[in-house]
Amino acid sequence: MHLACETVRCGPLNLLAQWSLETTIGNLGSEVHLHSNPYANLAKRALLRAQMNALQALYPEFDTKEANPRGSIELRNGYLLLRARDKKAYQISDNRELAAVQSFFTQRGMPVSDSIFQWA
């Protein structure tokens, strides 16, 4: 019977703690990569997240979120249109392509590499 009074006092009870807790559990669960010992891995991920949150609360300059990622277009209501890019660099195997890429980087004073990311 006390739920009705608490709803009037605090608002809808499902918005108080359940959603945020379940979302956090889901986010941490998606970060588990070592399935042979998931609980130890989950505890370590939760500890790292708590430590990062504490550091960012104490020192806001540690917040590494980039406001507008490179090459993105800002849309309305906080949405960004991101550019497509490979997740991993690929090795240039063709000697002519490698020479062209190295020449391009050298002319612009950029570091030369034999692997590049492809951007859309």
- Domain residues of the chain, as ranges? 71-120
Q: Which of 107, 113, 78 is nearest to 92 (CA)?
A: 113
What is the model's pLDDT at position 56?
86
pLDDT higher than 70, residue 31: yes
pLDDT higher than 60, residue 1: no
Express each pLDDT in 86-99 by its tens digit: 888 888 888 898 89
